[in-house]
Amino acid sequence: MTFSGFLKTDLVNYPGCVAASVFTDGCNMRCPYCHNPSLVLGTATEKHTEEEVLEYIARYRRILDGLVISGGEPTLNQELEGFLRKVKALGLLVKLDTNGTAPEVISCLIDKKLVDYVAMDIKAPIVKYRMFFHEHCPSIEDSVRQSISLIAASPIEHEFRTTCPKSILNPQDFNEIAVLLGGLEASVWYLQPFNPAVTLDGRMEKEVSYSREELLKIADSVRNTVPEVRVR
Protein backbone atom coordinates (compact mmCIF):
# COMPACT_ATOMS: atom_id res chain seq x y z
CA MET A 1 0.00 0.00 0.00
CA THR A 2 1.28 3.48 -0.85
CA PHE A 3 0.26 6.89 0.43
CA SER A 4 0.32 10.37 -1.06
CA GLY A 5 0.50 12.14 2.28
CA PHE A 6 2.09 11.36 5.62
CA LEU A 7 1.73 13.63 8.63
CA LYS A 8 4.05 12.27 11.27
CA THR A 9 2.58 14.20 14.21
CA ASP A 10 -1.12 15.06 14.20
CA LEU A 11 -2.73 16.57 17.29
CA VAL A 12 -6.02 17.48 15.58
CA ASN A 13 -7.55 14.67 13.55
CA TYR A 14 -7.83 11.96 16.21
CA PRO A 15 -9.69 13.42 19.21
CA GLY A 16 -7.74 12.99 22.42
CA CYS A 17 -4.82 11.23 20.76
CA VAL A 18 -1.34 11.95 19.52
CA ALA A 19 -1.46 10.41 16.08
CA ALA A 20 0.22 10.08 12.74
CA SER A 21 -1.93 10.48 9.62
CA VAL A 22 -1.68 8.93 6.17
CA PHE A 23 -3.62 9.86 3.05
CA THR A 24 -4.61 7.56 0.18
CA ASP A 25 -5.01 8.41 -3.49
CA GLY A 26 -8.30 8.24 -5.33
CA CYS A 27 -11.94 8.96 -4.55
CA ASN A 28 -15.27 7.97 -6.05
CA MET A 29 -16.75 11.39 -5.29
CA ARG A 30 -16.06 14.85 -6.68
CA CYS A 31 -17.09 17.27 -3.95
CA PRO A 32 -16.33 20.71 -5.44
CA TYR A 33 -15.15 22.09 -2.09
CA CYS A 34 -12.72 19.22 -1.41
CA HIS A 35 -9.48 20.54 0.10
CA ASN A 36 -7.40 17.56 -1.12
CA PRO A 37 -7.83 17.80 -4.92
CA SER A 38 -4.50 16.14 -5.74
CA LEU A 39 -5.51 13.08 -3.72
CA VAL A 40 -8.93 12.91 -5.33
CA LEU A 41 -7.53 13.19 -8.86
CA GLY A 42 -4.48 11.02 -8.21
CA THR A 43 -2.05 13.77 -9.19
CA ALA A 44 -0.15 14.06 -5.90
CA THR A 45 3.60 13.74 -6.37
CA GLU A 46 4.31 12.96 -2.72
CA LYS A 47 4.63 9.20 -2.19
CA HIS A 48 5.25 7.12 0.92
CA THR A 49 5.51 3.34 1.13
CA GLU A 50 3.74 1.12 3.62
CA GLU A 51 7.14 0.04 4.92
CA GLU A 52 8.15 3.65 5.58
CA VAL A 53 4.97 4.35 7.54
CA LEU A 54 5.16 1.13 9.57
CA GLU A 55 8.84 1.68 10.36
CA TYR A 56 8.08 5.16 11.67
CA ILE A 57 5.16 3.94 13.77
CA ALA A 58 7.25 1.14 15.25
CA ARG A 59 10.04 3.57 16.12
CA TYR A 60 7.78 6.10 17.81
CA ARG A 61 4.94 3.96 19.13
CA ARG A 62 5.80 4.94 22.70
CA ILE A 63 4.66 8.50 21.98
CA LEU A 64 2.00 7.77 19.36
CA ASP A 65 -1.50 6.76 20.42
CA GLY A 66 -2.93 6.13 17.01
CA LEU A 67 -2.98 6.41 13.23
CA VAL A 68 -5.51 8.27 11.11
CA ILE A 69 -6.11 6.95 7.61
CA SER A 70 -7.80 9.44 5.32
CA GLY A 71 -7.83 10.39 1.67
CA GLY A 72 -9.12 10.46 -0.94
CA GLU A 73 -11.32 7.55 0.07
CA PRO A 74 -9.39 4.79 1.92
CA THR A 75 -12.10 2.12 1.57
CA LEU A 76 -11.46 1.95 -2.19
CA ASN A 77 -8.02 0.41 -1.58
CA GLN A 78 -8.01 -3.38 -1.56
CA GLU A 79 -4.86 -3.43 0.57
CA LEU A 80 -6.47 -1.47 3.40
CA GLU A 81 -7.34 -4.44 5.63
CA GLY A 82 -3.87 -5.93 5.41
CA PHE A 83 -2.23 -2.62 6.24
CA LEU A 84 -4.47 -2.01 9.24
CA ARG A 85 -3.69 -5.49 10.59
CA LYS A 86 -0.02 -4.49 10.67
CA VAL A 87 -0.83 -1.17 12.38
CA LYS A 88 -2.94 -2.89 15.04
CA ALA A 89 -0.17 -5.45 15.59
CA LEU A 90 2.01 -2.51 16.67
CA GLY A 91 -0.53 -1.59 19.34
CA LEU A 92 -1.94 1.62 17.87
CA LEU A 93 -5.49 2.86 17.73
CA VAL A 94 -6.85 3.43 14.22
CA LYS A 95 -9.21 6.17 13.02
CA LEU A 96 -10.82 5.86 9.59
CA ASP A 97 -12.11 8.88 7.64
CA THR A 98 -14.67 7.83 5.03
CA ASN A 99 -17.46 9.04 2.78
CA GLY A 100 -19.52 5.97 3.66
CA THR A 101 -20.03 4.65 0.13
CA ALA A 102 -18.57 1.21 0.94
CA PRO A 103 -20.59 -0.09 3.91
CA GLU A 104 -19.37 -3.65 3.36
CA VAL A 105 -15.75 -2.55 3.86
CA ILE A 106 -16.58 -0.45 6.92
CA SER A 107 -18.56 -3.33 8.44
CA CYS A 108 -15.68 -5.76 7.84
CA LEU A 109 -13.13 -3.45 9.48
CA ILE A 110 -15.37 -2.92 12.52
CA ASP A 111 -16.18 -6.62 12.87
CA LYS A 112 -12.50 -7.56 12.69
CA LYS A 113 -11.60 -4.87 15.25
CA LEU A 114 -9.26 -3.10 12.85
CA VAL A 115 -10.66 0.38 13.51
CA ASP A 116 -11.34 2.15 16.81
CA TYR A 117 -12.90 5.38 15.53
CA VAL A 118 -14.80 6.17 12.33
CA ALA A 119 -15.55 9.66 11.03
CA MET A 120 -18.09 9.67 8.20
CA ASP A 121 -18.76 12.69 6.05
CA ILE A 122 -22.42 13.47 5.41
CA LYS A 123 -22.27 15.55 2.25
CA ALA A 124 -25.87 16.66 1.97
CA PRO A 125 -29.42 15.32 2.12
CA ILE A 126 -29.69 11.99 0.33
CA VAL A 127 -31.55 13.57 -2.59
CA LYS A 128 -28.49 15.71 -3.37
CA TYR A 129 -25.87 12.97 -3.26
CA ARG A 130 -25.85 12.43 -7.02
CA MET A 131 -24.27 15.86 -7.52
CA PHE A 132 -21.15 14.67 -5.70
CA PHE A 133 -20.72 11.25 -7.25
CA HIS A 134 -18.14 10.59 -9.93
CA GLU A 135 -18.42 6.89 -10.69
CA HIS A 136 -21.58 4.99 -11.59
CA CYS A 137 -23.20 3.67 -8.45
CA PRO A 138 -26.91 2.91 -8.68
CA SER A 139 -27.17 2.28 -4.94
CA ILE A 140 -25.25 5.25 -3.50
CA GLU A 141 -28.22 6.39 -1.42
CA ASP A 142 -28.68 2.94 0.10
CA SER A 143 -24.94 2.64 0.72
CA VAL A 144 -24.85 5.92 2.64
CA ARG A 145 -27.86 4.93 4.72
CA GLN A 146 -26.34 1.51 5.48
CA SER A 147 -23.05 3.07 6.56
CA ILE A 148 -24.80 5.51 8.88
CA SER A 149 -26.78 2.70 10.51
CA LEU A 150 -23.90 0.28 10.98
CA ILE A 151 -21.51 2.95 12.29
CA ALA A 152 -24.12 4.29 14.71
CA ALA A 153 -24.92 0.78 15.96
CA SER A 154 -21.27 -0.19 16.41
CA PRO A 155 -19.51 -0.16 19.80
CA ILE A 156 -16.63 1.99 18.55
CA GLU A 157 -16.22 5.74 18.83
CA HIS A 158 -17.56 7.61 15.82
CA GLU A 159 -18.78 10.90 14.45
CA PHE A 160 -20.68 12.24 11.48
CA ARG A 161 -19.62 15.57 10.00
CA THR A 162 -20.81 17.99 7.36
CA THR A 163 -18.85 20.72 5.59
CA CYS A 164 -21.06 23.77 5.08
CA PRO A 165 -20.67 25.93 1.94
CA LYS A 166 -23.70 28.16 1.38
CA SER A 167 -23.83 27.52 -2.36
CA ILE A 168 -24.45 23.80 -1.81
CA LEU A 169 -26.40 23.55 1.45
CA ASN A 170 -29.44 25.70 2.12
CA PRO A 171 -31.00 25.98 5.60
CA GLN A 172 -33.65 23.35 4.82
CA ASP A 173 -30.93 20.87 3.86
CA PHE A 174 -29.73 20.75 7.47
CA ASN A 175 -33.21 19.75 8.60
CA GLU A 176 -33.21 16.93 6.05
CA ILE A 177 -29.77 15.71 7.13
CA ALA A 178 -30.98 15.81 10.72
CA VAL A 179 -33.89 13.54 9.79
CA LEU A 180 -31.41 11.19 8.09
CA LEU A 181 -29.42 11.05 11.34
CA GLY A 182 -32.44 11.23 13.61
CA GLY A 183 -32.68 8.78 16.49
CA LEU A 184 -28.93 8.22 16.73
CA GLU A 185 -28.73 9.28 20.35
CA ALA A 186 -25.21 7.94 20.91
CA SER A 187 -23.80 9.69 17.84
CA VAL A 188 -22.33 13.15 17.37
CA TRP A 189 -22.90 15.28 14.28
CA TYR A 190 -20.36 18.05 13.64
CA LEU A 191 -21.02 21.05 11.43
CA GLN A 192 -17.76 22.45 10.11
CA PRO A 193 -17.07 25.64 8.14
CA PHE A 194 -16.06 25.45 4.50
CA ASN A 195 -12.51 26.71 3.87
CA PRO A 196 -12.06 28.13 0.34
CA ALA A 197 -8.24 28.20 0.47
CA VAL A 198 -7.79 25.11 -1.75
CA THR A 199 -10.68 23.45 -3.59
CA LEU A 200 -11.23 20.79 -6.23
CA ASP A 201 -13.41 23.19 -8.23
CA GLY A 202 -11.60 26.52 -8.48
CA ARG A 203 -14.91 28.37 -8.61
CA MET A 204 -15.51 27.38 -5.00
CA GLU A 205 -12.63 29.61 -3.92
CA LYS A 206 -15.03 32.53 -4.34
CA GLU A 207 -17.79 30.88 -2.33
CA VAL A 208 -18.52 31.51 1.33
CA SER A 209 -19.26 29.30 4.30
CA TYR A 210 -21.87 29.69 6.93
CA SER A 211 -20.35 31.68 9.76
CA ARG A 212 -19.79 30.09 13.15
CA GLU A 213 -22.70 32.12 14.52
CA GLU A 214 -24.98 30.86 11.74
CA LEU A 215 -23.89 27.28 12.33
CA LEU A 216 -24.55 27.58 16.05
CA LYS A 217 -28.11 28.72 15.26
CA ILE A 218 -28.55 25.82 12.82
CA ALA A 219 -27.27 23.41 15.46
CA ASP A 220 -29.80 24.73 17.96
CA SER A 221 -32.60 24.37 15.41
CA VAL A 222 -32.02 20.64 14.79
CA ARG A 223 -31.28 19.40 18.31
CA ASN A 224 -34.81 18.09 18.71
CA THR A 225 -33.91 15.61 15.97
CA VAL A 226 -30.17 15.10 16.61
CA PRO A 227 -29.41 15.78 20.29
CA GLU A 228 -25.62 15.81 19.89
CA VAL A 229 -24.92 18.33 17.13
CA ARG A 230 -21.84 20.50 17.56
CA VAL A 231 -19.94 23.16 15.63
CA ARG A 232 -16.24 22.88 14.92
Alpha-carbon distance of 152 to 160, in angstroms, equals 9
3-class secondary structure, 173:
helix
pLDDT greater than 80 at residue 186? no
pLDDT of residue 24: 96
Q: What is the pLDDT of residues 187-213, one digit of tens each?
A: 899 999 988 888 888 888 888 889 999
pLDDT greater than 70 at residue 170? yes
Which residue segments constitute the domains of the chain, with CATH numbers given?
2-231 (3.20.20.70)
Alpha-carbon distance of 42 to 44, in angstroms, equals 6
pLDDT of residue 16: 94
> Concatenated DSSP letters for 150-163?
HHHHSSSEEEEEEE
pLDDT of residue 151: 97
pLDDT of residue 154: 94
Q: What is the pLDDT of residues 17-34, one digit of tens each?
A: 999 999 999 999 999 999
Residue (of 28, 82, 89, 97) closest to 57 by Cα position: 89
pLDDT greater than 80 at residue 136? no
**Which residues, including other chains, have CB under 8 Å from residue 56's CB and lie 6 or more apart?**
6, 8, 20
Q: What is the pLDDT of residues 36-90, one digit of tens each?
A: 889 988 888 899 999 999 999 999 999 999 999 999 999 999 999 999 999 999 9
pLDDT of residue 137: 62
CB 97 within 8 A of CB 69: yes
pTM assigned to the model: 0.94
